[in-house]
Amino acid sequence: FDLEDVDDEFPEEDVEADLEEMLRTPAEATFKIGQDPRSDEADQVPADPQEPEEGEEEVDTAALKDELFQLLAPLAAECGMNTPPAEQKEISEVAKALLGSPSNLVQAAGLTEPGEVDVAVQTILGPALEGKWELKYTSSWTMEYNQGFSGLAKTIPGASFAGVQQELMNFSGIQDASYLETLLIRDKPLEVQVSATWELQESKSVMTGDKIFSLVVSPEEIRYSFVKYRADRWKTMRAWNLLDLVYLDEDTRIMKVQTSDTIFIYKRC
C-alpha cells in the first residue's frame, strides 16, 4: 500500500536530531566527588513535594480523573479523532491540571538526584509502565488524517478504525512492545498487529531544568491477515515512536509530543 507521509508532529530525521540536541543536555550530579556528606550542604533536605505551596490548592486527583474520562466517554469510538477544537481545549486543560497531582509518578521520578536514571526508570516508572494499555484519546492530527494508527483504514476499501491497544513487556531486561489495532470491514474485525521494542530515556530540559522521561518505541514488524511487512519505516506510525511521559499512575497514562501540544491518553486494560 502507498501510505501518505504526514509528519506534522515530527520533522525529518536530520532536523529531529538537531532539535533533540538543542533540547537535551546530560544530567549533572548534585554532589561533587569527594564532598563531605556531613557538610551543611549535604545535610539539606528538600521540601516535601507532596505538600502544596502556601496559597495553592491540593489537586483532587479522583475528581479530575472522573471529569477527564467523562469528557472522553463520548469520543471513545474514534479515540478523539474529529473532536471539535473547543472540546479538545477542555480536555487539554483537565489533563494539564492532572499533571500536578501527588499521584503522578512522573513527578516522583523527577525528584531523584540528577543522573540517577536507573533509580527513576527501573524502580519508579518502568514497572508502572508495563502491561496493556488502551488508547482513549489523542489530539494527533496525523492519526486523524490517516484514520487510525497504521493508516490501513484509509487504504483498505470499507475499513474503519475501531481502537488500538499498546502492551509494554519486560522479560529479564528484554523490553518488547506490541500494538493491536482493530479495524472493521463491513462489520467484520481485522486485527493489525505490530511488534516492537521499547525504552524509557531520561534527559534534562535546557529551558526549565526539569527531568524529561521519553518513551521510545521502535516498530519492527506489522502483520494483518496473511500479510507481513517491516515496520521500522512505516511512516504513519512515526508520531508514536518518541513521546514524553507527563503523567502516570496505576491506571492512567498521558503522553505528549515533544514539539507540539498533541497528547495521547491511555487507560490500563
Least confident interval from 52-56, 123-127, 200-204: 52-56
With vertex at residue 168, the alpha carbon angle to CA 22 and CA 95, rounded to the nearest 5 degrees, is 60
Instruction: Please give the full DSSP string across 91-141, using - where no structure is assigned.
Output: HHHHHHHHTT-TT-HHHHHHTSPTT-HHIIIIIIIHHHH-EEEEEEEE--H
Considering only residues 172 and 62, tell me which one the structure prediction assigns the higher pLDDT.
62
Q: Which of 30, 25, 218 is nearest to 116 (CA)?
A: 30
The type of residue at 203 is: S
C-alpha cell at 196: 516492537
| Contact of 126 with 200, CB cutoff 8 Å | yes
The type of residue at 77 is: A
CB atoms within 10 A of CB 198: 21
Rounded Cα distance between 253 and 5, Å, is 27
Considering only residues 42 and 267, tell me which one the structure prediction assigns the higher pLDDT.
267
Torsional class of 34: left (φ above 0), alpha (ψ -120 to 50), beta (otherwise): left
| Contact of 165 with 185, CB cutoff 8 Å | no
Q: If pLDDT is split at 50, 70 and 90, which confidence band does 116 have?
A: low
pLDDT in tens, 223-235: 999 999 999 989 9
- Tell me what pLDDT residue 98 has: 96
Share above pLDDT 90 across residues of the chain, in percent, rounded to a whole number: 63
- Tell me what pLDDT residue 5 has: 46
Distances (CA, A) of 226 to 32, 113, 177, 193: 58, 49, 21, 11
Rounded Cα distance between 82 and 196, Å, is 28
- Tell me what pLDDT residue 57 has: 62
Check pLDDT > 50 for residue 21.
Answer: no
Look at the pTM and tell me if it is higher than 0.85: no
Considering only residues 102 and 40, tell me which one the structure prediction assigns the higher pLDDT.
102
H or E segment to which residue 264 belongs: strand 263-268
Give the DSSP letter of residue 122. Answer: I
Considering only residues 206 and 68, tell me which one the structure prediction assigns the higher pLDDT.
68
Rounded Cα distance between 6 and 146, Å, is 8
Residue linked to cell 499521584: 103
Q: 10: helix, coil or strand?
A: coil
pLDDT winner (highest mean) among 6-15, 55-64, 169-178: 169-178
Residues 167-176 have a mean pLDDT of 93
- Tell me what pLDDT residue 131 has: 98
